[in-house]
Chains A and B, each alone.
Chain A
Amino acid sequence: MFSSLWRHRSFVLAGALHELKQRYAGSALGVLWHVVTPLAQILVYYAVFSRFMASQPDVPAGGAYALFLCAGILPWFVFVESVSRGGMALLANEGYLKKLAVPEAVFVARSIATSTLTLALYVLALFAMALAAGVRPGPGWLALPLVLGLFVGFCFGTALVLSVVTVFFRDVAQIVALVLQFWFWLTPIVYHPAALGPRLHTVMEWNPVTPFILGVRGLLVEGAFPTAFQWAWMALWAAALCAAGAGMIRRLRSDLRDAL
């Protein structure tokens, strides 16, 4: 799978750039939908939670909470986009897959590449915010790309698995949208992990998105490196999902092409 992705790298990259351009410059309101909408969402969370969370220990107040929130929610947006768009990648490119022998993963990779570009823009914005909030750049910032790389791998694997399943069971897209609603609240994005009771805390610990969110936030805001356990946990999730996705495609490719 990875060699075929490498062979199609220029298609993946050019496609991602094209889609990004399409999003931000394609329509008169493109900027509105892709910048203002998430911004509005962040503002709402900020308005609501900066009050509640101010009483919490370990959660900064005021402008620092905005940074805390953004460092969690921007990667989460990327995850949501990867899962919802990447999960539909095969179905959306049915036209190609019905007629060309192009490897399936290429279309998922293209979608994830677009999300990765978005992630890169978000991270640049986060750096700016951190500097504005008075955070000193530290060695943690240099380790950030590693966490983000694992995060992209995790997003790709998840999207790969979902995109295959979606071809056979088209309702999966709706189910995923529903699950994401709950998932958001089980991930320490607007709150600090310490805010949860013991039972929910266990759920949150098993939540594969958690280590990535904590990792990014730790490195960026607190200058804290993930523990060895967290590194292993992130690498494991990323590798497991990519392997699962690749395995599913290998095993189900024949049925997949027939079902399209």
Chain B
Amino acid sequence: MVHVEGLAKRFKIYTSPWHRAGEWLTWGRRNLHTDFWALRDISFSVARGECFGIIGPNGSGKTTLLKVLSGVLEPSKGRFDLAASTVYSLLELGTGFHDDLTGRQNVNQSARLLGLPGGELRPEVVRQVRDFADLGEFFDRPLRFYSSGMRVRLGFALFAHLKPELLIVDEALSVGDIFFQQKCAARIDEMRAAGVSFLFVSHDMEAVRRLCRQALVLSHGRVSFLGPSEEAINRYHGLLAGQDPTGRARELEDRDADEQPGMSPAEVLRGNILRGESRHGPRGLELVAARLTDDHGRDTLSVGSRDVLHVDLLVLAHQPVALPSAGLVLYDRFGTMVFSVGTSLRRHRLPALQPGDALVVRLDLRVSVQPGLYTFTLGTAEPGVFQDFHEQVGPLEVTAGHEPELFHGLAELPVECRHGAVTHHWAEAGARVG
């Protein structure tokens, strides 16, 4: 679908417009600019129906790459081939939107701007866009009365219904409310199933993780990693931290297994809460069972806010696993990831496993979140590969707990309150004026 080979983009930097004029006048024989290579030697392929992630720190060339691929900028070297007749790019949702026009008029105007084959949108497509954007009577009001979220809704609704073969998305979906985001995600899945490919640039690693199987990490205009998105995200975080993640992996220390009561495979199996309904992964390292217990060792799906929950995970290897890892993700009722952790992330090295080996991993989790309903994803992984993921585990009820409310917001961050000595009569002394 998309095939990029040795792509490079150079910008000519002129310190003064006269320098450009000088080059023109000498018919390019004099060289008065300096080159800036924003992209070098980029190669990758994307299959039909695949969602391909492009991630990287700010200024790494992501947007330049998308602009080249969508035809806004021309490559300086290399070539790319988009085997798609209809490519739309959401470089900015609603670029063609005009404040004075109504939502409906804007939809039509954008269609004309994009030079759709038919020129005009068919009425049923406009109707689909209207229904998807769900703007009510605002659809027929000028855009100047729209909130930014509403503009995004209109923009995404339009692009999602233009029947593209390849859709280039840049950060666009990180705006708008949760319900619309979920709707967009569902629509993207639907389109992918219909064979639409996506190039997806985002700083939202959750979105990349969820949508993309493969991803490219850009760093200073070069490909720093190309492969499974999970691994790509790790590399990206490594880049952000300014460290090489493989280097950090070597610092991991073996820790002694601490055998505690309740941590035998049989006990975990007895209290198993996994239903196996929404399960993914090749299961080379199987998550057989999971059990939640409170501080008194009782099975529970209800815990007080700020209390400790013991999460026991029984993993079983079906193949040699050198660096096994097990972890959990906690989601709130909107599907927002509140917290995600795993043994490898915490630098807790689990013993290497041989086929047939079982191991109980315990995560002691202080549930410092707002009271409410939550769900888990529990799973196992090897570096770069999900092995066995169980989604939608729970729900876990977090109750108000024993103490009165001690924080507001999604979750409690470690905090210390302190104060200095009182300075008496400070205001009268004129200290603020001086």
Contact = CB atoms under 8 A, between A and B. Distances in A.
Interface stretch (B107-115, B244-252, B319-327): B107-115
Contact of A9 (B67, B76, B92, B119): B119
Given A96-B113, A98-B72, A258 B96 contact: no
A121 interface: no
A14 B115 CA distance: 12
Contacts of A168: 17, 20
B119 A96 contact: no
A101 B95 contact: no
Contacts of A170: 17
Nearest to B20: A168
Nearest to A95: B95
A10 B21 contact: no
Interface stretch (A155-163, A219-227, A249-257): A249-257
B413 to A, nearest CB: 38
B95 A99 contact: yes
Chain B interface, DSSP helix/strand/loop, else mixed? loop
B11 A258 contact: yes
Interface string B99-121: 01000000011001111010110
Interface string A6-34: 01111100110000001000000000000
Contact of B115 (A8, A22, A97): A8
Interface string B296-325: 000000000000000000000000000000
Interface residues on B, range: 20 to 34
Contacts of A14: 108-109, 112
Contact of A255 (B12, B17, B113): B12
Contact of B73 (A7, A96, A258): A258
A169 to B, nearest CB: 5
> Which applies to chain A's interface (DSSP): helix, strand, loop or mixed?
helix
Contacts of B70: 100-101
- Most chain B beta carbons < 10 A, residue from A8, A95, A258: A258
Given A8-B112, A11-B112, A14-B112, A100 B95 contact: yes
Interface in A213-260: 253-255, 257-258
B12 A4 contact: no
Contacts, number: 64
A10 B21 CA distance: 36
B91 interface: yes
A101 B82 CA distance: 14
B71 interface: yes
Chain A, interface residues (CB within 8 Å), range:
20 to 34
A102 B87 CA distance: 12
Contacts of B204: none
Contacts of A100: 70, 72, 89, 91, 95-96, 113-114
A100 B88 CA distance: 9
A36 B119 CA distance: 36
A11 B73 contact: no
A257 B112 contact: no
Contact of A99 (B91, B108, B120): B91
Nearest to A5: B115
Contacts of B76: 254
A181 B193 CA distance: 62
Given A9-B119, A100-B72, A257-B74, A169 B21 contact: yes
B16 to A, nearest CB: 11
Given A4-B115, A7-B115, A255-B12, A101 B72 contact: yes
Contacts of B112: 8, 10-11, 14-15
B71 A10 contact: no
A96 B74 contact: no
A103 to B, nearest CB: 8
Contacts of A257: 72-74
Contacts of A22: 100
Contact of B92 (A97, A99, A169): A99
Contacts of A98: 72
Contact of B12 (A15, A97, A258): A258
A11 B74 contact: no
Nearest to A6: B115
A11 B92 contact: no
A102 B115 contact: yes
**In the A-B complex, the 4 residue pairs with the closest CB atoms:** A101-B71, A11-B112, A254-B74, A10-B119
Given A100-B89, A101-B70, 19 more contacts: A7-B115, A7-B117, A9-B119, A10-B120, A11-B115, A14-B108, A96-B96, A99-B89, A99-B91, A99-B95, A100-B70, A100-B91, A102-B114, A106-B115, A168-B17, A168-B20, A169-B17, A253-B74, A258-B73
7 contacts: A7-B117, A8-B112, A8-B115, A10-B119, A14-B109, A168-B20, A258-B12
